[in-house]
Amino acid sequence: MREWVSLNGRLMQPEQAQVSAFDAGLLQGVGLFETMRAYQGRVFRARPHLERLANSARTLGWSSIPDIGRMNDQLRQVVSATELSDARVRLTVTTGTLRQSEHETPDLTILATAATDGLYPPELYARGIGMTISRWRQNPFDPITGHKTVSYFSRLASLREAHAVGAMEALWLTIDNEVAEGAISNVFVVKEGALRTPATNLPVLPGVTRAAVLELAGILGIAAREERLQIEDVLEADELFVTNSMMELLPVIRLDSHAIGSGRPGEITRRLHEAYRECVRRECANAQG
């Protein structure tokens, strides 16, 4: 198997891909990205990811909005070429080179990649992970909060600090000390059989996996609601799990030194994860190329 990338619709090997030295993503951090997962050679719920990226570009005032069809074509192109049945797929879009006439419509830089890295080992789902509280805070007055931009250093720095103390994820609070999200995930609390998660107007990233979990909770008859959560709600939870496209639903059994619930992955988390994987199997098996 050879690894491929798609750069502005051209399929090539990674070492052949070149981006301008004056690209806005490189020089100014003006870019957006989506991390998706392909199963059976199909990207799970690609369209919501692409719509989220396009909506972010619109909200952040980009003069050229990425075309969903074009982005989707590049995803299909790179997934098909790399022939990976289960892969981490990333789409990165920047506003392109800064050396354009002010009267020109910017040519976006669109890069799609697929690789086998980033898959979580099965034992993590069986035993659960630890999480730590980040010392940084989520600021609702920051214009990029709630958007998946390439200005990602603060998230990676908090994740690095979590890893340094043996945790796998970092819990971000708002400047008002309300629960927001993980460094790279959305957060769900289970209490007395009901599911609770921070609302996206906090704001937090409107995760595609997050939306799928809320949808599946309704199908399974599990009460679920979006609401404001305090750190006490997390510490007193019966179960806690985090979500993103790569980790799916990952149970959290410890927050810093505090055990969550029984200290083991819980039944609601297990049921939802099984339902999620069945949803993936069904949708990706039925997806059209």
Q: C-alpha distances in angstroms, 266 versus 17, 88, 246, 260?
A: 45, 27, 20, 10
Omega before 203 within 30 of 0, i.e. cis: yes
The reply to whether 203 falls in a domain is: yes
* Whether residues 187 and 227 fall in one domain: yes
With a cut of 80, say whether residue 217 has pLDDT above it. yes
Q: What is the pLDDT of residue 119?
A: 86
The reply to whether 288 falls in a domain is: no
* Whether residues 134 and 264 fall in one domain: yes
Of 80, 115, 150, at which residue does a domain stop? 115
DSSP code string of 249-284: EEEEEEETTEEPTTSS--HHHHHHHHHHHHHHHHHH
Region 150-171: mean pLDDT is 97
* Residue type at 278 in one-letter notation: E
The reply to whether 219 falls in a domain is: yes
Q: What is the pLDDT of residue 289?
A: 45
DSSP code string of the chain: ----EEETTEEE-GGG----TTBHHHHH--EEEEEEEEETTEETTHHHHHHHHHHHHHHTT-SSPPPHHHHHHHHHHHHHHHT-SEEEEEEEEE--BS-S-TTSPP--EEEEEEESTTPPPHHHHHH-EEEEEEEEEE-TTSTTTTS-BS--HHHHHHHHHHHHTT-SEEEEEETTSBEEEESSSEEEEEETTEEEE--TTTT----HHHHHHHHHHHHHT--EEE---BHHHHHT-SEEEEEETTTEEEEEEEETTEEPTTSS--HHHHHHHHHHHHHHHHHHHH---
With a cut of 90, say whether residue 288 has pLDDT above it. no
Measure the CA–CA gap between 260 and 253, rounded to whole angstroms.
5
Residue 8 contacts by C-beta under 8 Å, 6 or more apart in sequence?
Answer: 109, 110, 111
The reply to whether 286 falls in a domain is: no
Region 16-23: mean pLDDT is 94
CATH number of the domain encompassing residue 271: 3.20.10.10
Residues 82, 112: contact at Cβ < 8 Å? no
pLDDT digits (tens, 9 = 90+) for 47-72: 999 999 999 999 999 999 999 999 99
* Whether residues 201 and 64 fall in one domain: no
The reply to whether 75 falls in a domain is: yes
* Whether residues 270 and 138 fall in one domain: yes
With a cut of 50, say whether residue 197 has pLDDT above it. yes
Q: State which residues form the domain around 142.
A: 122-281
Structure tokens at 174: 């708002």
- How many structural domains compose the chain? 2
* Whether residues 248 and 126 fall in one domain: yes
Of 92, 115, 138, at which residue does a domain stop? 115
Q: What is the pLDDT of residue 104?
A: 64
* Whether residues 34 and 155 fall in one domain: no
Strands 186-191 and 239-244, how do they pair?
A: antiparallel
pLDDT digits (tens, 9 = 90+) for 172-191: 999 999 999 999 999 999 99
* Whether residues 10 and 110 fall in one domain: yes
Beta pairing partners, 138: 174
Q: What is the pLDDT of residue 2?
A: 72
Measure the CA–CA gap between 179 and 185, rounded to whole angstroms.
12
* Whether residues 27 and 147 fall in one domain: no
The reply to whether 216 falls in a domain is: yes
The reply to whether 289 falls in a domain is: no
Tell me the pLDDT band of 286, cut-offs 50, 70 and 90: confident
The reply to whether 215 falls in a domain is: yes
Of 77, 94, 115, at which residue does a domain stop? 115
Percent of the chain predicted with pLDDT > 70: 97
* Whether residues 13 and 110 fall in one domain: yes
Q: What is the pLDDT of residue 103?
A: 56
* Whether residues 110 and 139 fall in one domain: no
Measure the CA–CA gap between 161 and 170, rounded to whole angstroms.
8
* Whether residues 128 and 271 fall in one domain: yes
pLDDT digits (tens, 9 = 90+) for 134-160: 999 999 999 999 999 999 999 999 999
* Whether residues 168 and 212 fall in one domain: yes
Distance of CA 229 to the CA centre of its chain: 21
CATH number of the domain encompassing residue 28: 3.30.470.10
